[in-house]
Chains A and B, each alone.
Chain A
Amino acid sequence: DAGITQSPRHKVTETGTPVTLRCHQTENHRYMYWYRQDPGHGLRLIHYSYGVKDTDKGEVSDGYSVSRSKTEDFLLTLESATSSQTSVYFCAISGGLDEQFFGPGTRLTVL
């Protein structure tokens, strides 16, 4: 299995609070991605990174920001969580425009 960890694995928070999810990789891959998975919508890309400090928006980026200060870490921040952001969040990595490998996921509940 690709060396990808996500933390926390589960989180319950209240509307309006900031939340940061962390993705850590040990593969030294250049590309990192954040997806969310929702019933009826499948997996959708939030943001991605193509190098340290290089990030771009995905399909559903509103309400989310990301940062990547080191190759191995990619952070996803919800500045002010809303109930619509209740979801399962997956981090993925790839060495190029090829195979993506996914982390175990973080289940976030916003009350």
Chain B
Amino acid sequence: NAGVTQTPKFQVLKTGQSMTLQCAQDMNHEYMSWYRQDPGMGLRLIHYSVGAGITDQGEVPNGYNVSRSTTEDFPLRLLSAAPSQTSVYFCASRIDTVGGYTFGSGTRLTVV
């Protein structure tokens, strides 16, 4: 049981490039989400999914796309990277409405 696995751990992009941050969980959790962590701002919700085929926007969705074709995977796509997207990105999942969330170890993204 690996929990929530995020790849890559580090990434440097040039402005305008696109990339996909991967997130996979092996706990059969229905709910998955993406957060970004910025100094002094805590964690902010980007997108979330309550099950395969269902996604919705969070607090800061602009510039990001998601899809949920399987229960296990929830990739986050940056369509055209901007310096403002420099951040640490965390994927999280949980199984039910009262349980705690399990977080991945994060992806540190720098856009130059």
Q: Do A and B bind each other?
A: no
Could you tell me which B residues sit within 8 Å of A by CB distance?
Answer: none
Could you tell me which A residues sit within 8 Å of B by CB distance?
Answer: none
